[in-house]
Amino acid sequence: MPAGHGVRSRTRDLFARPFRKKGYIALTTYLRTFKVGDYVDVKVNGAIHKGMPHKFYHGRTGRVWNVTKRAIGVEINKQVGNRIIRKRIHVRVEHVQPSRCTEEFRQRKLKNDQLKAEAKAKGEVISTKRQPKGPKPGFMVEGATLETVTPIPYDVVNDLKGGY
Amino acid sequence: MAFVKAQKTKAYFKRFQVKFKRRREGKTDYRARIRLINQDKNKYNTPKYRFVVRFTNKDITAQIISASIAGDLVLAAAYSHELPRYGLEVGLTNYAAAYCTGLLLARRVLKTLEMDEEYEGNVEATGEDYSVEPADTRRPFRALLDVGLIKTTTGNRVFGALKGALDGGLDIPHSEKRFAGFGKGDGKHLDAEVHRKYIFGGHVAGYMRTLMEDEPEKYQSHFSEYIKKGVEADGIEEMYKKVHAAIRADPTAKKSEKQPPKEHKRFNLKKLSYEERKAKLIERLNAFNSVADDDDEDDE
């Protein structure tokens, strides 16, 4: 029999629930709210059969463009041939998690705003740009003893003692 | 003892998946909970309130609760052990008491939300199906009935509480099929007379009268509290009418004065905090090192 290419083909392990996490899903997934413009990760929950995205989108991150009663519209990039298309899919909330990709950025924004406000109060000028890690500074080597290693002249007798 | 093959091997325990904690305790029906809590995503943070009714052996708890990730938030609560404040001393877990508790909760919630003038509800309890009509300014307070794990048979006390809340002015989607008095007599409709009898404790009064005639000793033992408080079979309906009026007059909750709990003797060791444990470890290491140093000095 030929291999099928149905929508859920080759998803035996991908959509399987993890070890000892089968059964009812925790209520937090239903209590989360999503707003248009949020970043979300698509992660399929095999226990909920409705509103499942295609297996391609499992593990992708996209932005929310629509919010309906039980599902969310997510805009995800997909490479088709020689171009990347922005695909819009609708996914039930059980298959979606809020993404942490912008978390670091948002925290940095808050911290920078705070630093800038403090600097403005003090009257100094600061740069909040991130700098790449530079080369390591030079240092003096401490506590090093010198051990001179010289080759010893070849001694036939010693070498052949073992195996001759 | 003969050799018995161990049923629960180590492998069994390694693969065992525990149910959710409240399911293990047998307290929460998650299937129902998911469906009660799930809010439309395009309603964002609008809370979805559930009207929770739970019965213990001696008390009735009625609460309005909204769910959140950190934990459920109780908007208002009413207990049947508050009913003595309104004049009901005995029979705190029967159908009539459930009605009173539901009514108390409804009036309390509406009072805190300042909607009690608009939504009087059904002041005269007639027992027939009553649903709140939306007023001009605000829509009625909507909640969904959460029965928990009880069997929803016709005439269950949970529906007594539901009726109390409905008559108090809350908007709870329901059907009259499960009220006490449905289907009695002819056909599939609610017999309002029978329901009214239950709301006013008529069934209890009837039983009291039967026992008084047939088995006076059993009456003495079964209704001893009623006799002590001087409650007679004929006066029960009047009593409940007064309680309903008292509830409508002043439904605000009263804070109980609780003394701070007194210190008990500890029988087990108190668990140390993270800092305390780290400090202890550093102490032990220092002691060990100093002993080791002493030994080294002795050896040398």
Q: Mean pLDDT over residues A10-36, rounded?
A: 93
CATH code for position A71: 2.30.30.70
What ipTM did this prediction achieve?
A: 0.75
Q: Please determine, for residue B143, whether its predicted confidence score (pLDDT) is greater than 80.
A: yes
Q: Mean pLDDT over residues A35-44, rounded?
A: 94
- Whether A159 is covered by a domain: the verdict is no
User: Min CA distance, A21 vs chain B (Å)?
Assistant: 7
Q: Which chain A residue has the Cα nearest residue B40?
A: A69
pLDDT score, position A164: 55
Q: Please determine, for residue B58, whether its predicted confidence score (pLDDT) is greater than 70.
A: yes
Please tell me which residue, B171 or A155, carries the higher pLDDT value: B171
> Which residue of A17, A27, A29 is the best one to mutate when testing the B interface, meaning the one whose CB has the most B CBs within 10 A?
A27
> What is the C-alpha to C-alpha distance for residues B77 and B143, in angstroms, rounded to an integer?
13
Around Cβ A110, how many Cβ atoms within 10 Å?
9
Sheet holding B73-79, edge to edge: B73-79, B60-66, B49-55, B144-146
Q: Mean pLDDT over residues B101-124, rounded?
A: 91
> Both tokens of residue B128?
């027939």
% pLDDT > 70, chain B: 99
Contacts of B40 in chain A (CB under 8 A): 69-70
Contacts of A23 in chain B (CB under 8 A): 17, 19
> What is the C-alpha to C-alpha distance for residues B292 and A16, in angstroms, rounded to an integer?
55
Task: Compute the C-alpha angle B190/B195/B199, nearest 5°.
Answer: 155
Distances (CA, A) of B168 to B12, B148, B273: 53, 22, 49
Cβ separation B31–A23 shorter than 8 A: no
Of B149, B132, B55, residue with least CA distance to B101: B55
Query: Reduced to 3 states, what is the DSSP secondary structure of residue B222?
Result: helix
Position B6 confidence tier, pLDDT thresholds 50, 70, 90: confident
Query: Reduced to 3 states, what is the DSSP secondary structure of residue B224?
Result: helix
- Whether A23 is covered by a domain: the verdict is yes
pLDDT score, position B77: 94
> What is the C-alpha to C-alpha distance for residues B193 and B199, in angstroms, rounded to an integer?
10
Among partner residues B15, B19, B69, which is closest to A31 by beta-carbon distance?
A: B69
- Whether A27 is covered by a domain: the verdict is yes
- Whether A130 is covered by a domain: the verdict is no
pLDDT digits (tens, 9 = 90+) for B243-273: 999 999 998 888 877 887 788 788 888 888 8
pLDDT score, position B300: 59
- Whether A108 is covered by a domain: the verdict is no
Compute φ and ψ for B133, nearest 5 degrees. Answer: -95, 135
In this structure, chain A runs to a length of 164
> Which residue of B28, B33, B42 is the best one to mutate when testing the A interface, meaning the one whose CB has the most A CBs within 10 A?
B42
Among partner residues A27, A33, A68, which is closest to B34 by beta-carbon distance?
A: A27
Q: Which chain A residue has the Cα nearest residue B45?
A: A33
- Whether A87 is covered by a domain: the verdict is yes
Q: Are B94 and B55 in contact (CB under 8 A)?
A: no
pLDDT score, position A116: 93
% pLDDT > 90, chain A: 77
Contacts of A27 in chain B (CB under 8 A): 30, 33-34, 37, 67
> Which residue of A29, A38, A69, A91 is the best one to mutate when testing the B interface, meaning the one whose CB has the most B CBs within 10 A?
A69
Among partner residues A20, A31, A70, which is closest to B17 by beta-carbon distance?
A: A20
pLDDT score, position A155: 75
Cβ separation A31–B42 shorter than 8 A: no
Q: Which chain B residue has the Cα nearest residue A33?
A: B44
pLDDT score, position B136: 83
- Whether A72 is covered by a domain: the verdict is yes
Q: Which chain B residue has the Cα nearest residue A18?
A: B17
Read off the pTM: 0.81
Q: Which chain B residue has the Cα nearest residue A23?
A: B19
Cβ separation A31–B31 shorter than 8 A: no
The answer to whether A71 faces chain B, any CB pair under 8 Å, is: yes
- Cβ contacts of B49 within 8 Å, gap of 6 or more: B64, B65, B66, B75, B141, B142, B143, B144
Cβ separation A31–B45 shorter than 8 A: no
Domain total of chain A: 1
A74 lies in which domain range? 11-98
> What is the C-alpha to C-alpha distance for residues A38 and A65, in angstroms, rounded to an integer?
8
Mean pLDDT of chain B: 90
Please tell me which residue, A137 or B297, carries the higher pLDDT value: A137
The answer to whether B72 faces chain A, any CB pair under 8 Å, is: no
pLDDT score, position A143: 86
- Whether A136 is covered by a domain: the verdict is no
Cβ separation A21–B42 shorter than 8 A: no
